[in-house]
C-alpha cells in the first residue's frame, strides 16, 4: 500500500474544511491520514466530526497556558508524538508562534477566505464584500510568522454577484475552499511542491491556468 501523508488538523470552529478533507480521504482521492485533530475550543463542531469518523482528537485550551509559546509547545508535542508531517490549519483561530513554525518548517498550511494578499485577518469575505471587489475567493498558503502572509500554494477565484449578500458570497467561497484544500494537501502528499522564496511551484502540472475572467462580463470588447 502507498504511504499516506500523516497530517494533523488544527480547528477552532465548525470544521467544514476538516469534513471535506475527511470525505476526500474516505473516497480515496486524498492520500493522507489524519493522525489527530487539535482544537482550542471544546465546543468546536470540528471535534464532533472527528469523533464521528473515529479520528483521535485533543482539546488544548489556550486559556490554561501562561503564554502563546507554552500553548504552542503543547500542541507541537502532541503533533510530533502522533508522527504528523504536515500541519493543516482549518479555521484555527490562533496565530502560531515562531517557535511552533520552527518546529515544522514549511510544514504548516492555512486556508483563508479571500484572495491574498487582499483582505487578510478576520472576516475576509466581509472585507471583500464591503470593499466592492468584483472577484474574491480563497487561498491555501504556507504559514509564516505574519497573519495570512506565507507563500501561496493555490487560489480559487469566485465572482461577486450584484445579487450577493455577504452570506451568499461566503457560501460560494466556502464551496471552493472545500475543493482547493484537499488539492493542496494532495500536491504536498505527492511531493510535488517546491518553494523558491515566495514562489510555490507544483511539479508536473497537467495544464496551466489560461482563463481570463471579467466581471461584469465584457459586452463585445
Ligand atoms: C474558513 O472560511 C476558513 O477559510 C477560515 O475559517 C473558516 C473555517 O471554516 N480560516 P470551517 O471551520 O472549516 O467550517
CA–centroid distance, 156 to ligand 1, in Å, is: 15
SS3 assignment, position 127 = helix
Q: Which of 16, 116, 180 to mutate to test the pocket of ligand 1 (most atoms within 8 A of CB)?
A: 16
Query: Is 112 considered catalytic here?
Result: yes
Q: Among 68, 67, 63, 54, which residue's Cα sits nearest to residue 25? A: 54
- Which band of pLDDT confidence, cut at 50, 70 and 90, is reported for residue 209? confident
Say which of 112, 123, 178, 196 is annotated catalytic.
Answer: 112
Task: Give the helix/strand (H/E) hosting 166.
Answer: helix 166-189
41 C-beta closer than 6 A to ligand 1: no
pLDDT at 210: 82
Q: Is 16 in the pocket of ligand 1 (CB under 6 A)?
A: yes
Which residue, judged by its Cα, is nearest atom 1 of ligand 1? Answer: 91
Residue 181: partners with Cβ closer than 8 Å, 6 or more residues away: 17, 20, 21, 88, 90, 111, 140
Residue 118 φ then ψ, to 5° = -75, 145
Specify the pTM. 0.97
- Confidence check: pLDDT of 96 > 60: yes
Instruction: Please compute the mean of the pLDDT values over residues 150-158 and round it to a whole number.
Output: 98
Nearest Cα residue to 111 out of 76, 79, 152: 152
Task: Give the Cα separation of 182 and 125 in Å (integer).
Answer: 21
What's the CA gap between 211 and 112, in Å, rounded? 23
In this predicted structure, the answer to whether residue 1 has a pLDDT above a threshold of 90 is: no
Amino acid at each position: 500500500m502507498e504511504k499516506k501523508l500523516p497530517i494533523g488538523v488544527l480547528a477552532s470552529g465548525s470544521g467544514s474544511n476538516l469534513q471535506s478533507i475527511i470525505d476526500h480521504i474516505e473516497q480515496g482521492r486524498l492520500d493522507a491520514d489524519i493522525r489527530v485533530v487539535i482544537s482550542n475550543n471544546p465546543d468546536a463542531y470540528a471535534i464532533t466530526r472527528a469523533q464521528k469518523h473515529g479520528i483521535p482528537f485533543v482539546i488544548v485550551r489556550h486559556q490554561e497556558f501562561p503564554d502563546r509559546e507554552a500553548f504552542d509547545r503543547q500542541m507541537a508535542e502532541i503533533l510530533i508524538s502522533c508522527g504528523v508531517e504536515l500541519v493543516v490549519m482549518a479555521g484555527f483561530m490562533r496565530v502560531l508562534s515562531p517557535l511552533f513554525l520552527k518546529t515544522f518548517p514549511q510544514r504548516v498550511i492555512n486556508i483563508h477566505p479571500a484572495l491574498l494578499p487582499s483582505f487578510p485577518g478576520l472576516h475576509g469575505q466581509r472585507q471583500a464584500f464591503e470593499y466592492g471587489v468584483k472577484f474574491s475567493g480563497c487561498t491555501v498558503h504556507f504559514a509564516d510568522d505574519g497573519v495570512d502572509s506565507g507563500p501561496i500554494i493555490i487560489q480559487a477565484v469566485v465572482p461577486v454577484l450584484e445579487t450577493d449578500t455577504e452570506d451568499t458570497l461566503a457560501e460560494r467561497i466556502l464551496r471552493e475552499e472545500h475543493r482547493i484544500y484537499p488539492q493542496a494537501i494532495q500536491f504536498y502528499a505527492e511531493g510535488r511542491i517546491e518553494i523558491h522564496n515566495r514562489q510555490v511551484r507544483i511539479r508536473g502540472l497537467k495544464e496551466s491556468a489560461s482563463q481570463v475572467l471579467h466581471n461584469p462580463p465584457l459586452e463585445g470588447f
